[in-house]
Amino acid sequence: MRSFGNSHALIAAAILVPAALLAAHVDTKFHNAPASAQAAKNPYAGQKEAAQAGKKLYARNCLSCHGPSGKGTGNVPSLVDGRLDSVTLGEVFWFITRGDKDNGMPAWASLPASQRWQIVTYVKSMGALPVAQEAIAPPPPDTNTSKLKAPPPTPPFTDFRYEKPGTFHKITVNDLPRPYATKSAYKFPLPVARPDNVFPLAPAGFKVELYAARLDNPRTLRTAPNGDIFLAETSPGRIRVFRGLTADGKPEQSAVFVSGLKQPYGLAFYPAGPDPRWLYVGSAAEVVRFPYHNGDLKAGGSPQHVADLPTNWFGHTTRPVEFSRDGKRMFVAVGSGSNADDPDKHSGEKNRADILACNPESCVLSVYAYGIRNAGGGIAVNPLTGELWCSVNERDGLGDNLVPDYITHVQEAGFYGWPWWYMGGHQDPRHQDKHPELKNKVIVPDVLLQPHNASLQLTFYQGQQFPAEYKGDIFASEHGSWNKSVRAGYEVIRVPLHQSGHASGEYEDFLTGFVLPDGSVWGRPVGITVASDGSLLVSDDGSNSVWRVSYTGK
């Protein structure tokens, strides 16, 4: 297990994580709520009038973060799907009142207690009944015009106004500002409808087409050996498969491979090569696998349980799955349960913020690398070198330009700093003087990205369609986050590996345009894969679409 014990020794990758500690559910107090909060009773319990009043208050104060149906996004937790079943209403009221600034939850003590209880009443009804998006009025328009009036960012930092296809960026540790150099922003995106005349923008010579639309929370993409495209629709709990390509760039067939899953995200075929026998699926609490043969449009049998994963159903719940080049190891990334909670004090962080590994046929999980806040967006093995790489969401709350997200190859037994340190020997001021013995062990990642980009799935380009200089390069989806005064991310980036398998620190804006000039967000890239014809497919859970990027040379 990951434990620093009394000596706080650096963990060795060979140490096994006991199965009992990797239970699918961790029994922890809800945000450490006191016993008095657990015992508090809702004076409006069951009152329809209170729920209706709470709906209006929710739309005004909560909807922009948790969404119209309460499903949340990214690090904003869902309020439905059973997430609050084990939580008392008193604990919810206490948390709404107190907030958690470090984890992005503002305090609402300024609202009268009666209104807070009405919100609690409505949230409870959301968990019991399906909520249609149109049932809630949209929040008032964003009146913060800093996105229009703000001065240009100071290089090497940038924002959406300066993200243009073909633009290169490079951030180094010497560029990092001091913590709290700027205030911590709250700008959660509530996607708007994509205008009819707006499409993602790609470099000259590339064409962007709408591959699939009207999806439901499209997340991870994976190309099967036979060329079929698999897509995890996480919220509805299903995996979809697309086959073929029409003349106008759309799939010829679409089928639901399996449904009824709980928060599926990671997808990986095993064993590697042209004839896999299994599709492995990572979800918040476990990894399962389905029998699979080339060309299957439906799962060939019931899921087989592979491994339990640590979770408490709050914080990061995405679990990407990948296999080593020789097929002897399965890797699973497990993100933190918080922004910057100290695992020494918070049991909900036990065995999280890690990349775990095991034998895929007889899985006993061990820690492969740790101190990685959230690689739950994406991990991938470089087919050229066999190295594991990851795409990481770093912590928030330290200002506009801290802490950079990153993409890096992963060193076995490596420590990447979370939560006490970041980017080498920079200490998080929220954990001042903690674990000084780890300062010199913190690995600086290969490529530092814009802070709060929310970097998700990544893939290595092995197709033949793009120009030769793209061969072997990384493409990664940047979902965009909430903790920056002027939005950044909301794009696909390219990390050049120079046909050597190694990065030199720079990255390029490749696919942009998901933010309108007024700062409204219509698209949020998540999944990314290379199709068999060499085109690039990108899932977008803002517009519930998949985009296809092809090279025409024109």
Can you tell me the mean pLDDT for 480-506? 96
Last residue in a domain, options 86, 118, 135: 135
Same domain, 545 and 441: yes
Beta bridge partners of 35: none
Using the structure block, give the residue that is written with the tokens 């990027």.
549
> Which are the contacts of 28, defined by CB distance < 8 A and separation ≥ 6?
312, 346, 347, 348
414 lies in some domain: yes
Q: What is the CATH number of the domain that holds 72?
A: 1.10.760.10
How many CB atoms within 10 Å of residue 278? Answer: 20
Same domain, 333 and 469: yes
Same domain, 451 and 499: yes
| pLDDT at residue 54 greater than cutoff 70 | yes
Same domain, 110 and 250: no
CA 394-322-403 angle, to 5 degrees, is 5
pTM (predicted TM-score): 0.86
| pLDDT at residue 131 greater than cutoff 60 | no
Lowest mean pLDDT among 102-106, 274-278, 538-542: 102-106
Q: How confident is the model at residue 73 (pLDDT cuts 50, 70, 90)?
A: low
Using the structure block, give the residue that is written with the tokens 């060329």.
227
Which letter does DSSP use for residue 129 in this model? S
How many domains would you assign to the chain?
2
153 lies in some domain: no
Question: What's the pLDDT at 141?
Answer: 41
User: pLDDT for 385-424, tens place per residue?
Assistant: 999 999 999 999 999 999 999 999 999 999 999 999 999 9
| pLDDT at residue 27 greater than cutoff 80 | no
Q: What is the CATH number of the domain that holds 268?
A: 2.120.10.30
Report d(CA 444, CA 454) in Å as an integer: 18
Report d(CA 100, CA 151) in Å as an integer: 30
Report d(CA 305, CA 17) in Å as an integer: 17
Report d(CA 457, CA 527) in Å as an integer: 5
Same domain, 361 and 407: yes
Question: What's the pLDDT at 68?
Answer: 76
Of 20-34, 197-211, 333-347, the range with the highest mean pLDDT is: 197-211
Question: What's the pLDDT at 293?
Answer: 96
| pLDDT at residue 1 greater than cutoff 80 | no
Question: What's the pLDDT at 106?
Answer: 79
Same domain, 334 and 444: yes
Beta bridge partners of 381: 388
Using the structure block, give the residue that is written with the tokens 């290969």.
446
Question: What's the pLDDT at 90?
Answer: 86
Same domain, 493 and 406: yes
Same domain, 176 and 52: no
Same domain, 101 and 243: no
| pLDDT at residue 321 greater than cutoff 50 | yes
Question: What's the pLDDT at 78?
Answer: 74
Same domain, 534 and 412: yes
41 lies in some domain: yes
Question: What's the pLDDT at 56?
Answer: 86
Residue 222 CA: distances (Å) to CA of 47, 358, 418, 533: 46, 21, 29, 14
Query: 150: closest CA among 527, 450, 487?
Result: 487
Q: How confident is the model at residue 533 (pLDDT cuts 50, 70, 90)?
A: very high
The secondary structure of 155-195 as a DSSP string is TT---GGG--TT-EEEB-GGGPPPTTSSPPP-----PPPPP
Which letter does DSSP use for residue 496 in this model? -
Tokens representing 45?
């319990």
> Pairing mode, if any, of strands 264-270 and 491-495?
unpaired
Lowest mean pLDDT among 85-89, 133-137, 234-238, 277-281: 133-137
Last residue in a domain, options 135, 160, 179: 135
Report d(CA 83, CA 64) in Å as an integer: 19
Q: How confident is the model at residue 513 (pLDDT cuts 50, 70, 90)?
A: very high
Can you tell me the mean pLDDT for 198-207? 98
Question: What's the pLDDT at 29?
Answer: 66
Higher pLDDT: 211 or 39? It is: 211
Task: With beta carbons less than 8 A apart as the criterion, state whether 444 and 424 touch.
Answer: yes
Report d(CA 549, CA 554) in Å as an integer: 13
| pLDDT at residue 425 greater than cutoff 80 | yes
140 lies in some domain: no
Last residue in a domain, options 111, 135, 159: 135
Report d(CA 155, CA 170) in Å as an integer: 9
Question: What's the pLDDT at 35?
Answer: 83
347 lies in some domain: yes
Beta bridge partners of 278: 270, 291
152 lies in some domain: no
Backbone angles phi, psi at 87, to 5 degrees: -110, 135
Sign of CA dihedral 167, 547, 552, 198: negative
Tokens representing 158?
């940038």
| DSSP H/E element including 331 | strand 330-334
Strand segments, DSSP code E, in 123-275 are 168-170, 206-212, 218-223, 229-233, 238-243, 253-258, 264-270
Lowest mean pLDDT among 36-45, 120-129, 162-171, 313-322: 120-129
Same domain, 124 and 191: no
203 lies in some domain: yes
- Domain with 106, as residue range(s), is 21-135
145 lies in some domain: no
Can you tell me the mean pLDDT for 361-387? 97
Can you tell me the mean pLDDT for 373-385? 96
Which letter does DSSP use for residue 437 in this model? G
Same domain, 107 and 195: no
Q: How confident is the model at residue 510 (pLDDT cuts 50, 70, 90)?
A: very high
Lowest mean pLDDT among 118-127, 384-393, 461-470: 118-127
| pLDDT at residue 452 greater than cutoff 70 | yes
| pLDDT at residue 75 greater than cutoff 70 | no
